[in-house]
Structure 1
Amino acid sequence: MLDDLEQTGAGRARKRVGTDLLAADVHARLRSRILTFEIKPGTRLVEDEISAAMNVGRTPVREALLRLQGEGLVSRERGWVVESTDAATIDRVFESRVAIEGYATRVAAGRAGPDDVRELQGLVDAMDGFESMSRTALNQLNRRFHERIVGLSGNPFFVEMHERTQFHYWNMRLPVLFTREQAQLTNDQHRRILAALAAGDADAAERHARAHIETTHRIVRDALEE
């Protein structure tokens, strides 16, 4: 009988591991589609539809959705819905960016190599052409610059938290167009961050990163108050 119990326990453990792996896969796939806005804010997520589309049972789907809820990407009220961010949360979003990106940039200063610096330099140089590119193209370059630096911290928790702040920031669809002077100022700040990373100066890297995000926050807030 003991052998039967052990075999039953082992079977349950294998089933649990299998469910966990499926839930992790469903979570990763849904999360990616939400963060890239392939699944739009306000979209209803139906467990049965996700199960059928991904060819998995409802249990891993439900576990994936619960994890997304914990990350603030979906909410549950009469069903699952992809979160929409109210512009009133702008201050909290930028406070989070200052904390996460500021320290992540400090850590990145000790880990960025010559190839990393060259890649970032290319992004900064490209952003100097902001007057001749679309807002979308400039936003993509800017987003890549910040994502790359956070990634250089080597800390997956920083990366995950940064992705969440970016989701809420872009989700707000802020109707803010930087002036020529503001665009130039923010890219000059990018150069200061880059110089600190190249020099391995952690203090300066964090200081310039925080100043840059605070500048962006001020520009956005002032524009929304006009």
Structure 2
Amino acid sequence: MERELTEAVRLNRQFHRRVAELAGNPVALHALERLWDQIQVSTRRSLHAPDRTALVDDQHRELLAAVTAGDPAAAGAAARQHVLDTSAAARPPEKE
């Protein structure tokens, strides 16, 4: 499990870096590189849920399709939803 998670995190970084490159957004690319250590922590935490991997895959496909179609509104909406979902999944469970 740990090996698969490490590979998923590596591929996630590669994907997000490539999207920033395709979008021609050097500011986002620089921010991604600068913040990656923090992003990696949330990525590892968020991918522990069994259903998250499929959702992340779907969201990545949606984002990539919007970027390659040249649809910034759809890309922005997909990216925003992905960030919100990842943030929610990365939060530690609330104590009762």
Q: Does the alignment reach a TM-score above 0.5?
A: yes
Say if 2:74 is the partner of 1:208.
Answer: no
Match of 1:105?
none
Identity %, equivalent residues: 36
**Greater relative contact order (CA < 8 Å, ≥ 6 in sequence):** 2
Within 2, Cα distance between the matches of 1:201 and 1:157?
A: 19
Identify unmatched segments of 5+ residues in structure 1. 1-130
> 3-state DSSP class of the match of 2:51?
helix
Amino acid at match of 1:168: Q
* TM-aligned CA distance change 1:225 to 1:197, over 3 Å: same
Match of 1:135?
5
Within 2, Cα distance between the matches of 1:154 and 1:185?
A: 26
Q: Which runs of 4+ in 1 moved over 6 A?
A: none
TM-score, reference length from structure 1? 0.36
Output aligned runs, 1:1-226, within 5 Å. 134-170=4-40, 172=41, 176=45, 177-221=47-91, 224-226=92-94
Greater CA radius of gyration, 1 or 2? 1
RMSD across aligned positions (CA): 2.4
TM-score, reference length from structure 2? 0.78
Identify unmatched segments of 5+ residues in structure 2. none
> Which structure has more helix as a fraction of its residues?
2
Within 2, Cα distance between the matches of 1:208 and 1:162?
A: 17
> 3-state DSSP class of the match of 1:134?
helix
Offset of residue 168 of structure 1: 2.5
Amino acid at match of 2:74: A
